[in-house]
Amino acid sequence: MSEQETTGQPAAEEPEEPGLPESMVRLLGDYERHLVSERDLTPHTVRAYLGDVSGLLDHCTRLGLDDVTDLDLRALRSWLARMQTTGRSRTTIARRATAARVFTAWLHRTGRLPTDPGAALGSPKKHKTLPPVLRADEAESLIRAAAERADDGTPVGLRDVAMLELLYASGIRVGELVGLDIDDVDDGRRVVRVFGKGRKERSVPYGTPAGRAIDRWLATGRPALRVEGSGAALFLGVRGRRIDQRAVRDLVHRRVADVPGAPDIGPHGLRHTAATHLLEGGADLRSVQELLGHASLATTQLYTHVTTDRLRRAYQQAHPRA
């Protein structure tokens, strides 16, 4: 599945359960319980998986396959081919192929299929687009602009600086940021504990500037916004509850707009920026993969484009035979 803001999962078609045989409807119910209870996926991701699998099962019934035991590689390929002829994008087809492979693997593992036809199912290669990132000076200007606005010491200003510093310093996802509790911050070791996709826990370091911003927020800003229902949330909204992702996205877009010439990016753009600057600074790919919480190194490799471009420019400028 491609990495998207918050969940990494784009919207999928709504389940087509009413037209499915009763046995397939029950099967979808079992699969949903597996996704929720065993894989601990977010509600949005569960809906996306179920929508894709419902579409697959609906296609199978149109082919005359009344039972899941008849599901084979030919049916899977026919489903993807139909989407291609109806103009679906490569990204959509690739995502649904992934959903099919996850589903057939579960069917085989639970004894519902004697073999796993999805293991042999290919998918179109997605066009890799280079994500927009801030230059190092633009990232500095972003933080500085936010700090200047927070000079009056308002709680919201202190909070905004702390969130921007932490997003850029750590490269964590916006969903991971808003889910942080106070106890997740280890000020002594300068690391923050986050729970990523699938509730996988990891510790991510952050720098001294982010540490100072968080300390100021906790000492002065958060107590001013805290209410009875604030709980342990690290970052609070203006009403004292845990801040939501939309508010953070709005903040990043507004502050980036204060930087002349900077591309319009959101929190995920700051994540791209942090990863790119780490690689440009000499961090190895495996370390960046661990920091970002990527399951596959191939996902992290997307960020190497800036480093490669920089090396190419240095070569062309310096080598006599360039």
Q: Which residues form the catalytic set?
A: 173, 197, 268, 271, 294, 303
Sheet with 191-195, strands from edge to edge, namely 185-186, 191-195, 201-205
Nearest in space to 14 (alpha carbons), one of 42, 45, 43, 47:
47
Which residues face 242 on adjacent strands?
Answer: 236
**DSSP state letter for 219:** I
Answer yes or no: are the C-beta atoms of 228 and 241 closer than 8 Å. Answer: no
CA 176 to CA 206: how far, in whole Å?
Answer: 14
Answer yes or no: are the C-beta atoms of 40 and 66 closer than 8 Å. Answer: no
Q: Angle at Cα 278 formed by Cα 274 and Cα 283, nearest 5°?
A: 155
CA 94 to CA 123: how far, in whole Å?
Answer: 5
Nearest in space to 170 (alpha carbons), one of 199, 204, 211, 142:
204
CA 234 to CA 200: how far, in whole Å?
Answer: 19
Q: Which residues contact 28 (CB under 8 A, 6 or more apart)?
A: 15, 17, 20, 50, 53, 54, 57
Helix%, strand%, coil% for the chain, nearest 5: 60, 5, 35
What count of other Cβ atoms lies within 10 Å of the Cβ of residue 266?
Answer: 18
